[in-house]
Amino acid sequence: MKDKVIIITGASSGIGLACARDFASRGAKISLAARSADKLSKIEEELTASGHEVLVTPTDVSREEDCKVLIEQTVKRFGKIDVLVNNAGISMRALFKDLDLSVLRQLMDVNFWGTVYCTKHALPHLLETKGSVVGVSSIAGFIGLPGRTGYSASKFAMHGFLQTLRTENLKTGLHVLIAAPGFTASNVRKAALTADGSNQGETPRAEDKMMSAEEVARHLAKAILKRKRTLILTFKEGKLTVFLSKWWPSLVEKLSYSHMAKEPDSPFK
């Protein structure tokens, strides 16, 4: 990754922050985007103090103009783009029958449209470098997770978009990676939206037993360098689930329901 220019959205915490640190340590020039200017500033100070080249741009990926500015600022600073990591995302936890539709729209705006906006404006530059478009997705993009209608819908939409983009660019040299980290220790569940759009606050899962964001970043780096099509992490909740969903979908539905119903304060039993 030496001297590669990499844009990472959702870079202020979790997988995005871990990727920023990991990719910078490999010699990449990092362009970081997130909504929190304060958090970005602290990350910029940390990475700059370690001798890394970094640009930060406060960005709300649900706004196309913000995404356009992010791309323009990156090219202005570094002259090119080699990798776009669409990592910004939000989750939810509520039954669809109880869900305010504004919550579903918000998830689509961030998770799906954020990916579309950033990719659209970065694509001309990525085609010049025969670079990589990365979508940080979820197992929820392969199977419908109960209590996460908006989240699964947004990730399925992301998959359809990126798979089609890959096919359209079979002869251009563009690399498209769909990455499903599985359950990863991060603040995504704490910030997950409930039925009325308020933050969940406390995670319903044992974060200390999950794969760390740092480990996910290492796997992502390897997948980008190898130009892999798909990255699915964890065995039981990742690879096995995706495999079974193709051959025994009814079983996966029952297992998914049972698994999610075991969460504390689950919206269904």
Distance CA 61, CA 108 (A): 11
Q: Strand pairing of 132-136 and 175-180?
A: parallel
Selecting among 78, 117, 151, 161, the annotated active-site residue is 151
- Other CB atoms within 10 Å distance of the CB of residue 223: 20
Q: Does residue 257 have an active-site annotation? A: no
Beta bridge partners of 176: 133
Annotated catalytic residues are 151
